[in-house]
């Protein structure tokens, strides 16, 4: 992922792109996360954006029943009712409809380890790269993904839960977007003017290599549009 730094510079990203990996055992030389419990697994995204590299185990994800569900992590017997209780509260609050639940993407298998790191650290083979971006930045990443064969013109997109963008991208093998749910924004500090672009890890380098050309092309078109705007008489 040697191109990650270039992507951050070219797109003027506020936060580091982060790598996420799902494994049967801890990656070599990667430490287990230290610190107390967090309210949801998406809080680990924030820690990686701040420069930390680490792995987690299933019990680290138990505090968020919905996040555990999207990551195919079964809750222990003592907490098994929490998913139903959480979803029930969301429905009762008008935040979610029960008929939406079956459509929430989930990983196809349960990971023994979930790893997080800044994407430019090459700490482990990433299964996905998550980029927090403003809409204009996300548009450029979308174009780079198209150019690299890592995205589709009609891009899979979801709102809640935000963490479901990982299985959405991985199960489809294509770049996906998340608008960032209320919980995710609370636990990660994602600003209101940003969303997530999630790119399959094995396509990240190819996408990264296309960003410079995409940025240059958009600068050319921007100059063209501004010149045209100045030559058109309004009214």
Q: Quote the pLDDT of residue 173.
A: 97
* 235 in a structural domain: no
Asked if the model's pLDDT at residue 232 lies above 70, the reply is yes
pLDDT > 80? residue 46? yes
For residue 143, which of 194, 225, 211 has the smallest C-alpha distance?
211
Residue 226 within any structural domain of the chain? yes
Residue 185 pLDDT greater than 70, yes or no:
yes
Structure-model confidence comparison of residues 234 and 193, the more confident one? 193
Q: Note whether residue 215 is domain-resident.
A: yes
Number of domains in the chain: 1
- What is the rounded average pLDDT of the residues 176-196? 97
pLDDT band at 13 (very low <50, low <70, confident <90, very high): very high
Instruction: Assess if residue 180 is contained within a domain.
Output: yes
The pTM assigned to this predicted structure is: 0.94
Q: What is the pLDDT of residue 4?
A: 80
pLDDT the model gives residue 5: 79
Predicted pLDDT at 1: 46
Query: For all residues of the chain together, what is the average pLDDT?
Result: 95
pLDDT average, residue stretch 10-33: 98
Query: Which residue range is the domain that position 179 belongs to?
Result: 4-230
Separation CA 199–CA 129 (nearest Å): 5
State how far the Cα of 117 lies from the Cα of 95, in Å rounded to an integer: 31
Q: Please tell me the distance from the alpha carbon of residue 36 to that of residue 111, in angstroms, as a whole number.
A: 21
Q: What is the percent of the chain where pLDDT is above 70?
A: 97
| Residue 46 domain flag | yes
Residue 204 has pLDDT above 80, yes or no: yes
Model pLDDT for residues 84-137, shown as the tens digit of each residue = 999 999 999 999 999 999 999 999 999 999 999 999 999 999 999 999 999 999
pLDDT tens-digit map of 49-76: 999 999 999 999 999 999 999 999 999 9
**Residue 224 placed within a domain:** yes
Of 166, 183, 89, 71, nearest in space to 128 by CA: 166
> Is 195 within the bounds of a domain?
yes
- Count Cα atoms within 13 angstroms, Cβ side, for 41: 28
Count other Cβ atoms within 10 Å, centred on residue 104.
18
In the structure, what pLDDT confidence band is assigned to residue 145 with cuts at 50, 70 and 90? very high
Kindly tell me if the per-residue pLDDT of 190 is higher than 90. Answer: yes
């Amino acid at each position: 992922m040697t191109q990650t730094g270039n992507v951050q510079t070219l797109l003027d990203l506020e936060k580091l792109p982060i790598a996420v990996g799902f494994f049967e055992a801890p990656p070599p030389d990667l430490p287990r996360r230290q610190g107390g419990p967090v309210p949801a697994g998406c809080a680990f995204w924030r820690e990686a954006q701040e420069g930390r590299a680490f792995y987690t185990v299933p019990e680290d994800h138990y505090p968020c029943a919905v996040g555990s569900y999207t990551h195919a992590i079964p809750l222990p017997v003592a907490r098994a009712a929490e998913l139903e209780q959480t979803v029930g509260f969301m429905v009762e609050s008008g935040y979610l409809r029960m008929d939406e639940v079956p459509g929430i993407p989930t990983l196809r298998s349960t990971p023994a380890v979930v790893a997080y790191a800044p994407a430019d650290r090459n700490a482990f083979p990433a299964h996905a790269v998550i980029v927090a971006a403003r809409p204009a930045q996300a548009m450029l990443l979308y174009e780079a993904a198209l150019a690299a064969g890592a995205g589709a013109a009609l891009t899979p997109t979801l709102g809640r839960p935000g963490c479901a963008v990982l299985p959405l991208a991985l199960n489809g093998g294509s770049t996906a977007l998340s608008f960032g749910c209320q919980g995710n924004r609370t636990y990660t500090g994602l600003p209101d003017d940003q969303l997530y672009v999630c790119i399959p890890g094995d396509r990240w380098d190819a996408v990264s290599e296309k960003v410079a050309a995409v940025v240059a092309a958009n600068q050319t078109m921007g100059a063209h549009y501004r010149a045209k705007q100045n030559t058109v008489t309004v009214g």
